[in-house]
Structure 1
């Protein structure tokens, strides 16, 4: 895999990824538009999970292009990209099981969100995260779960409404796993590190 990292550090690749992620972020906020209209102002930052995750990654890419690291953004990016990337894949597969099939948008969401999870982890050797960055990110992530499943501000999949307790339980443990992934790839001693 180490052959891949000079490619990932290439400025043209970084710019291409930035453009793709900006487009995905804009589409993501558009996708949430109807739900955001019905969301109390207090909860607005916690509803559009996936586009906010890709926004964090966009900011991390901008920092890389400027020859900088923004570690708190990097921590938020890896945890939320992995969490909401995998979450959306699982939820869309669950919809497919419940409904007996998916429309083309569902398959597009599976592909794009899996790519989110992968890119967050692939860039981990370039992150410069410290413990406090991960702690703040863990608080943000678990607090988001409370907003979603205590105040019911989670992304709306109406066909899955009767499974909300199970989905909430799964999401909590996915949050813990995502924090663990961030620790393993971006914080632990003797991890693989690279410079952009």
Structure 2
């Protein structure tokens, strides 16, 4: 068996694997919201309540991907649900690439400034790298087109703007607090990179299916 089989359509769209990934993403989403629980409570207590929506970045990305897997398993029939599923797919890809790379970068940037890494950091590195790889592997099986990248990009940029305007960005290692402006610029640049990369991979995937 060739190693290429493990990223083939036959393997990746097998219903057993899709269900396995659905449950893995769902469990990761729940754990992620629990991880952000303290910051969400702090935000509700000290900020306008609507800002809490923008706090749990990575869990929301994995929630989008959980729903995207559900739509792969059960393709929607109604026009409204089809449109919703296309938006969810685009959001899943853009945000998973963005926050997958972002979390790993911030963890290692903090370590480079003197932060001591513990086992939870390595767990986060592995899980967030998986988010980005998962997005790039499955984009070719999604049905959304280039147009849907526009609202996905708008949401992700809005998240960045709210995060760094109102101070509800994910809590950073203390070693990076003196570099907040650099983190902000990196985050905005990474959003642009993620949108462009998603567009490129999507175009490449669609071209190969023609």
TM-score (norm 2): 0.87
**Paired position in structure 1 for 2:79:** none
Between Structure 1 and Structure 2, whose CA radius of gyration is higher? Answer: 2
How much does 1:130 deviate?
2.4
In structure 1, stretches of 5+ residues that fail to align are: none
The answer to whether the Cα contact below 8 Å between 1:54 and 1:77 also exists between their aligned partners in 2 is yes
| Matched positions, count | 194
Residue among 137, 157, 163 paired with 2:179: 163
**Paired position in structure 1 for 2:73:** 65
Residue 52 of structure 2 corresponds to residue 36 of structure 1: no
TM-score (norm 1): 0.93
Residue 69 of structure 2 corresponds to residue 54 of structure 1: no
Separation in 1, partners of 2:205, 2:131? 25
Residue among 175, 190, 202 paired with 1:186: 202
**Paired position in structure 2 for 1:172:** 188
Q: Root-mean-square deviation (CA), in Å?
A: 1.8
The worse-fitting range, judged by mean Cα deviation, of 62-71 and 100-109 is: 62-71
Change (3 A) 1:154 1:47: same
Structure 1 runs of 4+ off > 4 angstroms? 187-190
How much does 1:189 deviate?
8.5
Change (3 A) 1:41 1:188: farther
Separation in 2, partners of 1:117, 1:131? 19
Separation in 2, partners of 1:128, 1:154? 31
The answer to whether the Cα contact below 8 Å between 1:21 and 1:58 also exists between their aligned partners in 2 is yes
